[in-house]
Amino acid sequence: MSNLEFNSQNVTRLLRLANSTSVWQSNTQTPVQIVQAGYLRDLMLVLSGAVTTVTTALTLLDNFAPWGLLGNIQVNSNVQAGLINVSGIGLNWINQVVLGLEKMGNSFDTTNTATPGTTAAVIGIDEPQGGPVATALNPVPSLYQVPLTVQAGASLILPWWIPLAQKINTLDGYVGIWDLQDPSIQMVLNYTPNTPTTSTPFNIVEGTASTGAGLFTQAANTATIAAPTLDILRVMYDPPLDPANDPEFGYVHSWYEELWNTAPGGSSTINWRALANSGYITRLIFGVWNSTTSLGVADTLCNLSNSINLTVGNNAPVIVENINEYRMRSSMELGHQITQGAFYIDFLGQDLTLQNVLDTFVAGNINLQMNFSSGLGATSTGKVIRGMLQALMQ
């Protein structure tokens, strides 16, 4: 397998083209047909809508918020269903990890403690991470950073990036590009708004305290967005003039979100086991929301020597870390820390090779475990997201 010809000069051209704009119609799944043209690499989603509050400013208390505004995001093809199946929170974690590892480096500020922009016209405008917070300076756009409080009348703008292809240098480039020039291949994006409201204006508040849903919290419980829209953008290539220069279409890269096999509620140890014979695991992203604190699990509960524990086969250790060791690894690999309560393991490495990926056909009993110094709250929740390299139609 090789993409050398496809990556050569003057063979193709990278394009960024609008697909469509979808208006939220209800709180149920909404399908969006992806235009059948070109060789598709990524999709980009931008949610926008005007925020209204009746009394007080909107407050962001859940550090998984506000990415839970999309409850589920799926990308399906008629030749292989389930390419992407994640929550809005999960896709934001994927963005933080993959963009940090491969593209942007030290660019995220996930602390949600920004003060500039809280009374401005646009939510998500602030100084870059590490920069000053003085409002006298001209802020720069940072859509991934959301202020703690938001005034009525502000415009909510939230981005999600859906990486359909994965760059793997062992295979000379991107794997998982989709040939939508082929009329027999159809692709659909399905998104489901996460709101109790069935029509506009949609409620974006989950109550006076967080439940882990990734929405806003507010005492008045009255914040809405009116007729929000979702813009869908395609990142794609022109097909080469010579089909011999096409990329390798025989493999796909997928992202699947699952629950921990052990329910986090009340537990001090939780486990997840990989599905056997399902492909090659390129990355794991996982997290826990603790109902005791109504936040992502705190570092103080992850101070055991084996707080993060990945084993294969006959419990052979692959990664055993406490929280400080994990934080050090994250700083070295990403240049920043992702959202509190979320964690990751990268098997592609800085060189993006297949040397350390987990082969579920060979390595049996792949088990991820988290151990906490005390039990989690009774209604705690969590998720595990696996990036997978798979043969088409496998």
> Is pLDDT above 50 for 71?
yes
Residue 248 near residue 1, CB atoms below 8 Å: yes
- Higher pLDDT among residues 2 and 12, named by residue: 12
pLDDT score for 189: 97
CATH 1.10.287.1080 fits 259-389, yes or no: no
Helix (H) or strand (E) holding 325: helix 323-333
CA–CA separation, 41 vs 26, rounded Å? Answer: 29
> Is pLDDT above 60 for 389?
yes
Name, in order, each residue with C-beta under 8 angstroms of 161's C-beta and a sequence gap of 6 or more. Answer: 42, 43, 44, 45, 91, 95, 99
pLDDT band at 51 (very low <50, low <70, confident <90, very high): confident
Q: Rounded to 5 degrees, what angle do the CA atoms 161, 236, 140 make?
A: 45
Residue 73 near residue 47, CB atoms below 8 Å: no
pLDDT band at 142 (very low <50, low <70, confident <90, very high): low
> Is pLDDT above 80 for 137?
no
Name, in order, each residue with C-beta under 8 angstroms of 42's C-beta and a sequence gap of 6 or more. Answer: 161, 162, 163, 164, 165, 234, 235
Amino acid at 16: R
pLDDT score for 111: 43
Please state the domain extents for the chain: 1-248, 259-389
3-state secondary structure of 319: strand
Q: What is the mean pLDDT of residues 96-110?
A: 72
Instruction: Give pTM, 2 decimals.
Output: 0.90
pLDDT in tens, 184-214: 999 999 999 999 889 888 988 887 777 888 8
CA–CA separation, 191 vs 97, rounded Å? Answer: 22
CA–CA separation, 90 vs 254, rounded Å? Answer: 13
> Is pLDDT above 50 for 141?
no
CATH topology of domain 1-248: Adenovirus Type 2 Hexon; domain 4 (2.70.9)
Residues linked to residue 164 through DSSP beta bridges, in sequence order: none
| Percent of the chain scoring above 90 in pLDDT | 56
pLDDT in tens, 228-273: 999 999 999 999 989 888 988 888 999 999 999 999 999 999 999 9
Answer left, alpha or beta for residue 8, where phi above 0 means left and psi between -120 and 50 means alpha: beta
Q: What is the mean pLDDT of residues 13-25?
A: 94
Helical ranges in 36-177 per DSSP H: 88-102
Residues linked to residue 51 through DSSP beta bridges, in sequence order: 225
pLDDT score for 386: 98
Q: What is the mean pLDDT of residues 53-73?
A: 76
Averaged pLDDT of the chain = 84
pLDDT in tens, 301-345: 999 999 999 999 999 999 999 999 999 999 899 887 888 899 999
CA–CA separation, 123 vs 152, rounded Å? Answer: 11
pLDDT score for 191: 97
- Higher pLDDT among residues 131 and 41, named by residue: 41
Tokens at 312, concatenated: 């294969």
pLDDT score for 172: 81
Give how far Cα 187 sits from Cα of 40, 127, 140, 183, 386, Å: 10, 38, 35, 11, 21
pLDDT score for 353: 93
pLDDT band at 150 (very low <50, low <70, confident <90, very high): low
3-state secondary structure of 113: coil
Q: How far is CA 361 from the centre of its chain?
A: 26
Torsion 140-142-146-148 (CA) sign: negative
pLDDT score for 63: 74
